[in-house]
Amino acid sequence: MFRAHMSVTRIWQLIEKRMMSCISVRGKLPGLQRAVGEVRRKSSFRQSPLLSAAPVRALIDEQISIKGRFLSQNYPVTVCAQMHSEEGDLWEAFAHYTTNASRSINLTSDHSVGGSYLGCEPMGLFWALEPALRSRESLRLRKRNVETPYIVNISLLEGHTSPSEGQSTELAAVTVERWYMAPGVRRIEIRQNKIVGTLFLPPGPGPFPAMLDLWGMGGGLSEDRSALFASRGFASLSVAYMGHKDLPGPPDIMSVADLYFKSAFQLLQDHCQVDADRIGVIGLSFGVCLTLRIATRIGVKPSCLICINGPVGSPLLDEDGKTKTIESDQKHWELDDRGRVSFRHVSLPDNLPPENKQKVKNITCPLMYIVGEDDLCAASTENADVIEEALRSAGKSQLFTRLSYPGAGHLIEPPYAPCARVSLWRAKPEKLFTLWGGHPAPHAAAQEDSWKRILEFMETHLRR
């Protein structure tokens, strides 16, 4: 569907074809066989079991076909995935299957009968990944270095077992790579006009449609979504606006103001490989408030807006668009019985001062709002209602699209990322954990569907 995607697949196919030709000429080399997704291990079977994955190198949003063959009929096996995060924590998922009459299993069509997930879930081994037993508390899987892949080891184990038991017989194994950056995508650090960000450009000369990419108040610079946009043919600039060493002020406030975001948008417009008339903005969480502010207050005209689980305003914002510390007003914080905080009521439209709400009626471009109905961090449904009503009252109903997903939480990210229902918000002066919401299977379904719809929305409003 996308030119960049076709080039990625073709490049990796050519690499694998070359490696397979080496195997056929020089004999069976286990190291090369593992690189193309098939490793056979000695066992008591007449023919060694085989575990395959195709493709073994893929973008993070691509499905992988996993199959086990040359087993016994009606034989119980476990398929296990394990990988380490960039922080060194072990993540794992496993599922129980029983072979069919052809002595095989196929995760694309067969049903798991136990383990980390149940039913037919072709990518369950990825979205169901969890920190291994005795890991640090409430981890969230994040990819900071998008120039390297996740390396996932997948093994086929004898019987219905779990990784924690540690005594399973491994029948076969395969290693896969999960990438955010396709071959040819360029990553460019931006430190100009006081902007702190990273620009990703697709392969080729352009000019490309583009996105300005905004995350939430967790701070720092998140590059994964922008890298994936570029891998799908869209230039994307991810900008940091708080919690980054190269930004002014304390890390827990937004010291930059409206001019900062206007400059970031204009940086995209002025780039020789960007189509200046086809630039959209995407925001998650507090990034939604900023997305709406950019579209209504700072004098730029985006071609489309994508809002994911965020508010129409914030009591933390001042007139210039700077913020107070998030902890300056805890009146609407909710704590559960374990002391974990939910910010949902902070963002209820009725709790937002009128002067802090963005003037949504002034929006002039298509807007997609994505709702996770189990969002515990933002009042997403209520904020979507406010936006929809404001546009309806202004005679602009045709601009609004809502996607709503039961069981999905706050952190709706690109496909197959594990659901983080709770994670560490801050470590000092004492640990504070925040509730995001979401249940693994419906959250995974929401991420997969919404990502396809996001790309379709961008295709419609940025290319045509």
Residues labelled as active-site residues: 285, 375, 410
On whether the CB atoms of residues 37 and 138 are closer than 8 A, the answer is no
How far is Cα 121 from Cα 95, in angstroms, rounded to an integer?
10
- Identity at 459, one-letter amino acid code: E
Residue 368 CA neighbour count, 13 Å, CB half: 23
Spatial strand order of the sheet with 432-435 comes to 334-335, 341-342, 432-435, 422-426
- Paired tokens of 71: 């087993």
Helices assigned H by DSSP within 61-100? none
N-terminal to C-terminal alpha carbon distance within the chain: 14
**Total Cβ atoms within 10 A of residue 270:** 9
Element housing 33 (H / E): helix 30-35
Which segments within 351-451 are labelled E, that is strand? 367-372, 400-405, 422-426, 432-435
- Paired tokens of 264: 């970031």
Q: What's the CA angle centered on 381, arms 285 and 446, to 5 degrees?
A: 70
Which of 181, 238, 220, 192 lies closest to 7, judged by CA? 181
DSSP, collapsed to helix, strand or coil, labels residue 279 as strand
Which of 32, 35, 109 lies closest to 68, judged by CA? 109
Tell me the torsion sign for CA atoms 265, 270, 275, 277. positive
How far is Cα 241 from Cα 317, in angstroms, rounded to an integer?
13
DSSP, collapsed to helix, strand or coil, labels residue 263 as helix
On whether the CB atoms of residues 131 and 90 are closer than 8 A, the answer is yes
